[in-house]
């Protein structure tokens, strides 16, 4: 049950994380939607920036 409780808490925090990382999220989304033929790792830099932002905000909010 503890795993489910922690998972629910993480999901509840997700909108907060997305709000604080809106800039990097929109840059990543723009990269992914730029071309109809999306290929693996084509937006890797943007994804890593977005992921880094999410991780930093999550650590800060704990």
Predicted TM-score (pTM) of the model is 0.77
d(CA 55, CA 40): 22
pLDDT tens across 30-56, in order? 999 998 887 888 999 999 999 999 999
Query: Average pLDDT in the 11-22 region?
Result: 86
Q: Cα torsion for 11, 12, 13, 15, to the nearest 10°?
A: 90
**To the nearest whole number, what is the mean pLDDT of the chain?**
88
């Amino acid at each position: 049950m503890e795993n489910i409780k922690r998972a629910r808490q993480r999901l509840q925090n997700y909108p907060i994380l997305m709000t604080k990382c809106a800039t990097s999220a929109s840059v990543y989304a723009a990269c992914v939607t730029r071309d109809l033929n999306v290929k693996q790792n084509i937006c890797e830099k943007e994804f890593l920036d977005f992921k880094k932002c999410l991780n930093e905000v999550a650590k800060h909010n704990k």
